[in-house]
Amino acid sequence: MTPALEIRGLRKTYNNGFEALKGIDLEVSPGSFFALLGPNGAGKSTTIGIITSLVNKSAGEVRVFGHDLDRDPRGVKRSIGLVPQEFNFNQFEPVGEIVVNQAGYYGIPRREAWERAGHYLNELGLWDKREDMARMLSGGMKRRLMIARALVHEPRLLILDEPTAGVDIELRRSMWDFLQGINEDGRSIILTTHYLEEAESLCRNIAIIDDGRIIENTTMKQLLAKLETETMVLDLAEPPLAVPEGGPIPLRRIDDLTLEADIHSNQNLNDLFQLLDQQGIRVQSMRNKANRLEELFVRMTRSETTSSTLTPGGGGASDRQEGQA
């Protein structure tokens, strides 16, 4: 089956000599919901920029559903819808016209463009705002407008570069539902995000890019299986008389009503509860100390970056510095 995206030996060196991509190979299956993760400045936005013809590549090959970027750039462009990281629409243009004009750039006649715009603006809760100037929209609405605009020409591959940055949790979850819906309808999706919980919830496949190289490219399941130890936080019903030490599962007392347990991948929760039951410790609730993907991500990229770029929920930091570097 023709891959949705196929990248071979992709390199990018900016005019000032900064090497943003150092030979990337990547393949995204059709129908996939694919996460492309990496710290700021790792090369995510440069990669997306090259795929969408906003950045000139230095070397390598890019194919989208078999269309080669060098030989058939129009075929590539027709196949892709882009939701960029930063707002890139005319703030002084009405919402409906932004979507309709985008359809026009793909050769869709105005009447049909309005029908399609109506469909997607309705789906994304923006139809009532179609005559409002884009600058009047809230941040979340602007993000949804960019999704409607990216879908209006019915692309087979949707690329979302941090689509939920700065969006409140309720709206973020409704956007997840929407994106899962269009993925289930057969559209391939590539997502970059700083919310690793988002990638873990939505994506079945994942690649991690760091310092211009792909350092991991696998399924989400296989990646998470690499996590050797998970730390669980246990909220207790009452203070324990004693906390067992030196057992098969290390336990730490955080305060009178909180314990932490480190569970190795070859252990399971039954072992933990058996241990607690033996000690008469009653657990009221339990949660992961950190998002599993986040833990792995930090470990894999730690050598190249500072952890300050990986603040959970700290999206919004711009990768544009790549382009300016």
Residues forming the site for other proteins (CB under 8 A): 14, 46, 49, 52-56, 73-75, 77-78, 80, 82, 84, 86-93, 97, 101-102, 104-110, 149, 323
To other proteins, the closest distance from the beta carbon of 294 in angstroms equals 30
Contact between 12 and 19 under an 8 Å Cβ cutoff? The reply is yes
Q: How far is the CB of 246 from other proteins (least distance, A)?
A: 57
Residues 212, 24: Cα–Cα separation, whole Å: 7
Query: Which C-beta is closer to other proteins: that of 120 or that of 297?
Result: 120
* Separation of alpha carbons 73 and 132, rounded Å: 34
Give the Cα separation of 159 and 17 in Å (integer): 27
Residue 52 or 217: the one with the smaller Cβ distance to other proteins is 52
DSSP 128: G
CB atoms within 10 A of CB 241: 8
Cα(262)–Cα(289) distance, integer angstroms: 10
Residue 307 Cβ, how far from other proteins at the closest point, in Å?
Answer: 28
| Cα 299 to Cα 179: distance, rounded to the nearest angstrom | 29
CB of 203 to other proteins, least distance (A): 23
Minimum CB distance to other proteins smaller for 63 or for 77: 77
Smallest gap from residue 322 Cβ to other proteins (A): 8
Count of other CB atoms within 10 angstroms of residue 272: 21
CB of 233 to other proteins, least distance (A): 43
Please name the residue that has the structure tokens 């020409």: 153
Residue 70 or 93: the one with the smaller Cβ distance to other proteins is 93
CA distance 224 to 292: 7
> 153 vs 292, which CB is nearer to other proteins?
153
Nearer to other proteins by Cβ, of 104 and 244: the residue is 104
Distance CA 209, CA 196 (A): 14
Report in angstroms how near the CB of residue 107 gets to other proteins at its nearest.
3
Measured from the CB atom, the residue of 91 and 219 that comes closer to other proteins is 91
The answer for 247, left when phi > 0, alpha when psi is -120 to 50, beta otherwise, is beta
Would you call 152 exposed, middle or buried from its count of C-beta atoms within 10 A (0-12, 13-18, 19+)?
A: buried
Residue given tokens 């013809």 in the structure block? 53
